[in-house]
Amino acid sequence: MLKAKIHQATVTQTDLNYHGSITIDTDLLRATGLLPNEAVTIADCENGNRFETYIIPGPAGSGIIGINGAAARLSAVGNRVIVMSFVHAKPEEAESHVARVIVLDAANRIRERFEQKTTL
């Protein structure tokens, strides 16, 4: 199940020589409940690439979305990406599960936030 999503983040830097990960502004992590070292799937809206990596926290208020290591070849500065985290849930857990979603503007500031319930 979807745990959290950062929608329409703009890549602010890439670093091919860094040892991996995605760097994300700590304020955005707090807003979604995403954690340092948490595995995430990234979807690049500009080129369709999808890849997995883990989170490194960036400075709060910086708006940083940095694609590091080999994944830097799969995106580019200025590209819009979607960052998603997933969890496994038992049926009884799924009934009360809520995903936290934020939608960003072009400067990676929160434009909208909402929760998506799992129940119909």
Strand partners, 66: 13, 23
Bridge pairing between strands 22-25 and 65-68: antiparallel
Kindly give the pairing relationship between strand 110-117 and strand 65-68. Answer: unpaired
Distance CA 75, CA 13 (A): 10
Which listed residue (18, 21, 75, 96) is catalytic?
Answer: 21
* 54 annotated active-site: yes
Clarify whether 18 is annotated catalytic.
no
Q: Which of 18, 54, 62, 96 is catalytic?
A: 54
Is the separation of the CB atoms in 43 and 82 below 8 Å? yes
The catalytic site residues sit at: 21, 54
